[in-house]
Amino acid sequence: MKTIEKENLYVAGTYKRFPIEIVSGKGATAVDSNGKEYIDLASGIAVNTFGYSDDEWIAAVTKQLTTLQHTSNLYYTDPCVELAALLCEKTGMKKVFFSNSGAEANECAIKAARKYAENKGNSTTILTLLNSFHGRTLTTLAATGQETFHKDFLPLTEGFAYTPANDIAALTEAFEKYSPCAVMFEVVQGEGGVNPLEYDFVKKIEELCTANDALMICDEVQIGNGRSGKLYGYMHYGISPDVVTTAKGLGGGLPIGATMLGERVKDIFTYGSHGSTFGGNPVCCAGAVNIITRLDEAMLSEVIKKSELIKNTLEGSEGVESVTGLGLMLGIKTAKPAGEVVSRCIENGVLVITAKDKVRLLPPLNIPMEELKKALAVIKDACR
Ligand SMILES: *Cc1c(COP(=O)(O)O)cnc(C)c1O
């Protein structure tokens, strides 16, 4: 295949791709270069919130694209202001910094935490969780509590310490040992295997952060933007984070990252203290406004309904050991190796991916029920 041969010659070999070239898509259906159709339950890794070529989203993006594609942050533009206001209204956060990816959104959160600590003369150590994933830049790699990602790239940015997820005693000890200025965590560890944090553990993070004037930073890059069944995953835990980062599904397929700043850090950044050439790009923001506007109660309850359908169909089914996660970010622990199940699904026209030793499902939030049911039958068969 021409594309694959060319790729091997010219594209850096960072990705182990499935041997498929996707050429087009509509809704939850992707089409490869041989004309084969797939029901896509991965959504470009939680990016295509409303699937491929969604009409409303295309209209919003095209309108902006043909009006003004970019002008830099030296001038005011409306789409980024509209998006910031929308995000703040819907979350209670106070201000937003825009970037282009999850890693950058987290970099901004880390800079906010460092500056907050610096201003107060506190320790600059940031506590993160083992088995977390926060991105691929040197600093977000340092924040990522998995050594396999660190090796070959040392030295990483200093000032991170790690503690195991769902271990309240270890968390308390880590606070005593490091007096961290912030704790950064995913309420559902995505790359780590789709593992939700326990309610009591998250509440303890909040309690310790409040008592020790540390910032609570929620990395909502993957679980955010409606995927959990609430607008943001932390909302399931009744906590009020100081910083919320998101990206992936925010733009519905366009590159955008957002770092939402709460009351304590809303004015932490001042002229010149942070920036991004493409940050707040009008086209990406117009796409994101469309996505966030459509994540209303009806859409979120549909997410929960579909989540329940998936769990009810797969739990207890032959070869399925467990289903973990929230909303439409689910991990299936299978008796067979996850990679084998994924290959079998692809052969049978369903795109799913892995997360550690699990099969991971991240379908578009608006996938039609009938298509979801068809895909689940294929998955069920592949697990058996
Ligand atoms: C994907 C992901 C990131 C990194 O996002 P990029 O856009 O790839 O930089 C960070 N945190 C979490 C939780 C993610 O899932």
pLDDT tens-digit profile of 336-369? 999 999 999 999 999 999 999 999 999 999 999 9
Q: At residue 8, does pLDDT exceed 90?
A: yes
pLDDT digits 0-9 by tens, 181-222: 999 999 999 999 999 999 999 999 999 999 999 999 999 999
For residue 252, give the nearest of 26, 29, 78, 53 by alpha carbon.
53
Instruction: Report residue 122's pLDDT band, with 50, 70 and 90 as the boundaries.
Output: confident
103 CA distance to ligand 1 middle (Å): 6
The pLDDT of residue 104: 98
Q: Tens of pLDDT along 106-115? A: 999 999 999 9
Mention every residue, 6+ apart, whose C-beta is less than 8 A from residue 116.
Answer: 122, 181, 182, 215, 264, 265, 268
pLDDT at position 1 over 70: no
Stretch 137-158: mean pLDDT: 97
pLDDT score at 121: 86
Q: State phi, psi for 244 to the nearest 5 degrees.
A: -125, 125
Do residues 24 and 31 lie in contact, with contact meaning Cβ atoms separated by under 8 Å?
yes
Percent of the chain with pLDDT over 90: 98
Residue 302 clears pLDDT 80, i.e. is over it: yes
Q: Which of 108, 133, 146, when mutated, tests ligand 1's pocket best, judged by the most ligand atoms within 8 Å of its CB? A: 133
For ligand 1, atom 10, the nearest C-alpha belongs to: 134
Mean pLDDT, range 249-277, rounded to an integer: 98
Q: Rg of the chain's alpha carbons, rounded to an integer? A: 21
With a Cβ cut-off of 6 Å, ligand 1 is lined by 101-103, 106, 133-135, 186, 190-191, 219, 221-222, 247-248
Mean pLDDT score, 361-381: 98
Mean pLDDT computed over 316-344: 98
- Sequence-separated (6 or more) residues with CB below 8 Å from residue 342: 352, 353, 354, 359
Instruction: Tell me how many degrees the CA angle 104-62-59 measures, rounded to the nearest 5.
Output: 105
pLDDT on residue 54: 98
From the CA of 121, how far away is ligand 1's center (Å)? 30
Q: Return the percentage of the chain with pLDDT > 70, whole number.
A: 100
pLDDT, averaged across the chain: 97
Rounded to an integer, what distance in angstroms lies between the CA atom of residue 365 and that of residue 307? 10
